[in-house]
Structure 1
Amino acid sequence: MNEVCAEDREKRLPPGVLKSADRMLAGSVRDFVDREVIPVRRELDQEARSGDYSKFGALLARLGELGLPGAIIPEEHGGEGLASFLPWCLVMEELGRGDASLAVCTAATALALRPAVLAGNGEVLASLAPRFLEAERGYSACPAFFEAPALGDELNPDLRGHGWRTRVEERGDGLFLTGNKAWCVNAGRAGVYCVAAFSGEVGEGGEPVLVYCDSPADGLEVTKRETTGLLSVPFGDLLLNGVRVPLSRRAAGAGEDAVLLREGLAFQRLLTAAVAVGIAQGAFEEVLAFTSERIAAGKPIRQHTVCAVMLADMAVGIQSGRDVYANAALLLDSLEVLADRASDSSLSRASIARAHCCRAAVEVTNRAMELMGSYGYVTDYHLEKYWRDAKMLQLAEVPAELLRLDVVRGYYRFDSLHPNPLYEEMARRRDRERSGV
C-alpha cells in the first residue's frame, strides 16, 4: 500500500484523541486484516455462496484470540472492559476494510453483550464470559431487537409499544417470550440471544424488556434469509413460541431496559458508520492500486486530471465520514450518564453519522466502479464485493427515511402518531365487541 498511497494513517485523527491502548488495538486489528483477511476475502464470498463458512469461522476464532469481541466484558469477569464508542469504531473501520461481514458479526456480538455490561448484571456476565473468553473461540451472540417487518420505528419510545409483536410475561420464577424478531445478525449461529420484547399493555403501562436467551431452547426457531451483500453474515428471523428463561436473565429492570435499548441503538449506528468508512477505504485502496498500474497516453491514469478529481472526491467522502463518526463517538464517550447517551440528541448524532457514512460508502464504491469499468464488477478484483456490501449496509437495520426521523428528533419534537378521532372510535368499537357489550 505504501508504494501506491503516501497517506499518513497516523494523521487521520487529531493528535491526543486516541489513547495509546486504542492505537495499539487498532494497529493489531489492521495488521490482522492485512495479514489474514485480505488474502482470503474473495474465498469468503465464494464459500458463503456454497453454504460453507469454515474460513469465516476460523477468522472469527482468530479475532477471539485478539480479544474480540469479548473485550467488552468487564475486567472482573476476565475481559478488557472496553465499552467506549471510539475504540470500537476504530476496530470496525479496520474490519470493514477487510471484510464487512466480519465486522458486522463482531459488532453484533458486542451489541448483544452491551446491555448486561452496562447494567452490571453479574449473573448474566458470569454465565456468558467463559464462553467468549475461554471455552470456544468464535462464539457469537445475537441482538434480536427489531420487529417484523423490521421497519425500526417501533423502538421509538413515543409510540409506547405500538408495532411490537414480541411480548414477554412474568410467570412464577420465569419469563416467557412469544412473537417474532426480524433481520437478526448471527441468527442460527449465536449461542445466546439478547431479545427485546414488550411487557404490559400497549400505552403508558407497558415498557421494553431485554432478555438473554440461550440457544438451543424449546420454542425458539430460526428462519434464514439470503442477501446479495454481506454474504457471510447469518441474517435470520426468530420465532419465539413460549420460550422460557429465568428471571435473572433480564438485562436490568423496570425502566432501565428501555434506556439500555436506546443506548444500544446509538452504539449500533455508530459502529455501522465506522464499518461503512472501512468499506469505502478498502474500495479506495483497490482503485488507487488499479489506477497506478493502468497506463494511458504513456502515464498512469491517475495522473490524468479527470481521474485525479474523481479520486479526490472519494478521499473527501472517506475522511469526512471518519471525522463525523469520530466526533460523534467522542461526544457520546464524554457523557457519563447512561440516560444522556440514550437521549434523542445522542441517537440523533449517531444517526447522522450512520446516514452520512453509509451514503459516502455507496458514493465511493460507485465512483470506484466508474474508474475501473468492467474490471470493477468481476470477481478478479475485490471492488464488486465492496460495492455490494456498501449498499447492503446502507439498507440494513432501519430504512433511510426512519433513520432521518431519528435525526430530526434531536432538533425538535416529531410525533410518529397523530390523534385521529376515527381510529379512536374504531378502537372503542372493537373493545366493546370483544367484551360482548
Structure 2
Amino acid sequence: MPDRAPQPVERQLPTEESRDLLALVRDMVQREIAAQAAAEEDSGRFPREVFSLLSESGLLGLPYDSEHGGGDQPYEVYLQVLEELAAARLTVGLGVSVHSLACHALAGYGTKEQQAAHLPAMLGGGLLGAYCLSEPASGSDAASLRTKAVREGDDWIVTGTKAWITHGGIADFYTVLARTGGEGARGITAFLVPGDAPGLSAAAPERKMGMKGSPTAQLHFDGVRVPDTRRIGEEGQGFAIALSALDSGRLGIAACAIGVAQAALDEALAYATGRRQFGRPIADFQGLRFMLADMATQIEAGRALYLSAARLRDAGRPFSRQAAMAKLFCTDAAMKVTTDAVQVLGGYGYTADFPVERFMREAKVLQIVEGTNQIQRMVIARHLVGPESR
C-alpha cells in the first residue's frame, strides 16, 4: 500500500532563500497557528500575538522594499507564504493579505518623506493595517462612495461610514478612500488614518458564518482630522490607487483560497484512506477516488493560475485580467473542494468535530471579498470585449 499521509505541496520557488523562507513558515504554522486554529475560531478569538510574531519575523512586509523594512520578495513567493498561512487558519492568511493591501497605497504612491516616516513601522514594526473602501451603500459600486473629506487649512475633516472592514476597530492604521471632489471615480482621494484618531470609532463586529476570529466591522468617521501630510497621492487619484491595490489584493485572496482548499483535500484524503466500509478503505471506491481526483485537479489548476499572474506582476507586465481570473477561479474552486470534502466525510463532515465544515464556511466569503466573483467576470469581459454599451 502507498503512504496515505498527506504530503507537503511541492513548490517551484525561484531561489534557495525563498525555499528556506517557506520552510520557516511551515514550521511556524505548525508551532504557532494550526494547533489552536479550531478552538480559537470557535471562540471568536483574534490572534494578535501571531501577527506580532509574523511582524518580528519579517513576514508582514514580504513583497515590499527592504529600504523601508520589507522583505524584497517577489509576489510569486509572497503568495505561496499566504497559501501556507491560510491553510492553517484563514483568519491569519487573509489578515496578512489585508495588511499588505493596506500598505500598498503608501508604498506605491506615497512621497519619499511619507514612506520613510510610516512604512518601517507598518511593514516590520508590529503595526496592523486595514483597508477602507466599501460602505453600507457602496460595495461593488465603489466609485459611488459617500464618505467625505473636506479641506480645512492644512488638514482634512473626514466624515462618513465605512463597512465590512477586516480588522475594523483593532487596526493601528487605516488606508481610507474618501470623496474630496465631485461625483464619480475622479473625486476620490486616499488618506492614511491612525487607528487612534479622535472621532474614529468602530461598531460591534459583524456576526459572520465563518472567520469568526477575524473582526469585521463598520467604522464611523465623525469629523476625523487628518493632516494633508497623510494624503496619499494627488487629490482625485484615490480611485486609481484603490484599483491598483485591488489587482494585487485579488491575487492574495486567490492564494488564500487555494490554501483553504488544500487543507480540505488533506483532511478528505486522510479520512478516506483511514475510514473502512465493506471491508476496505472508502478511498478504494471509484466514486470517491474520482471526487478526490477532481479536487486535486482544481487545486493544482488554481495554484498555477495565481502563480502565473504573480509572475506577470513581478515582471512589471499588466496582470489585471489574470488577477481577476485567478480570484474567480481559485475561490470558486475552494467552494467546490470544501463542499466535496464535507461529502467525503459524510455525517462527520457536517459536525464541528472535523475541520472541513469550517473550511466550507470560510471558503464562501472568499467568493465575495475584494470584488465579488460576478464583478470579476465583468472585469475579465471588459478586457476581452471592452466596456458595456450604454
Taking the TM superposition and a 5 Å limit, the aligned residue runs for 1:197-276 are: 197-202=178-183, 206-223=186-203, 224-254=205-235, 256-276=237-257
| Alignment partner, residue 295 of structure 2 | 314
Amino acid at match of 1:176: I
1:72/1:113 contact within 8 Å kept:
no
Change (3 A) 1:266 1:297: same
Who is 1:429 aligned against?
Answer: none
Letter in 2 for 1:261: A
> How far does residue 3 in structure 1 lie from its aligned partner after superposition?
4.3
Partner of 2:130: 142
Unpaired segments ≥5 residues, structure 2: none
Q: Which amino acid aligns with 2:371?
A: V
Q: Measure, in 2, the Cα distance between the counterparts of 1:4 and 1:329.
A: 32
Match in the other structure for 1:403? 376
Q: Please give the alpha-carbon distance, in whole angstroms, between the structure 2 residues aligned to 1:24 and 1:198.
A: 44
Q: Conserved in 2, the CA contact under 8 Å of 1:75 and 1:81?
A: yes
Give deviations 1:43-96, integer Å, cap 9, x for gaps. Answer: 111221xxx43xx122222212321213345322333244x4322211111111
- Residues 163-188 of structure 1: CA distance to partner in whole angstroms, max 9, x if unpaired? 22122222211122222211111110
Listed as ranges, the gaps of 5+ residues in structure 1 are: 156-162, 419-437
TM normalised by structure 1 equals 0.83
Cα distance per residue 1:315-346 (max 9 Å; x no partner) = 0110011011111111122226xxxx5xxxx3
**Superposed counterparts of 1:416-435, under 5 Å:** 418=390
1:382-402 CA distance string (max 9 Å, x none): 111111100122222333322
Which of 116, 121, 139 in structure 2 is aligned with 1:151?
139
Kindly tell me: are residues 4 and 41 of structure 1, through their superposed partners in 2, closer, same or farther at Cα, counting changes over 3 Å? farther
Report deviation, 1:306. 1.6
Distance in 1 (CA, whole Å) between partners of 2:312 and 2:256 is 19
Displaced runs of 4+ in structure 1, greater than 6 A? none
- After superposition, the Cα gap between the structure-2 partners of 1:8 and 1:190, relative to the gap in structure 1 and judged at 3 Å, is closer
Q: Displacement of 1:213 after TM fit?
A: 0.4
CA distance in 2, matches of 1:348, 1:295: 45
The count of residues paired between Structure 1 and Structure 2 equals: 388
Describe the superposition over 1:404-431 as per-residue Cα deviations: whole angstroms up to 9, x where unpaired.
Answer: 2112111122248x4xxxxxxxxxxxxx
Say yes or no: does 1:68 pair with 2:23: no
Which of 172, 185, 199 is 2:166 aligned to?
185
- Is 1:80 the counterpart of 2:71? The answer is yes
Give the 3-state SS of the residue equivalent to 2:160 in structure 1: strand
> Does residue 373 of structure 1 match 2:346?
yes
Normalised TM-score (structure 2): 0.92
Q: CA RMSD in A?
A: 2.3
Alignment of 1:15-30 (within 5 A): 18-30=14-26
Equivalent residue for 1:280? 261
Identity score, percent: 30
The answer as to whether partners of 2:63 and 2:75 remain within 8 angstroms in 1 is no
Aligned equivalent of 2:50, options 40, 45, 59: 59
Sort the Cα spacing of 1:203 and 1:128 in 2 relative to 1 into closer, same or farther, 3 A. Answer: closer
TM-superposed deviation, 1:284: 0.5
- Cα–Cα, structure 1 residues 148 and 81, in superposed 2: closer, same or farther, change >3 Å? farther
Asked if the contact 1:153–1:402 (Cα under 8 Å) also holds between the matched residues in 2, the reply is no
The counterpart of 1:96, out of the listed 86, 104, 107, is: 86
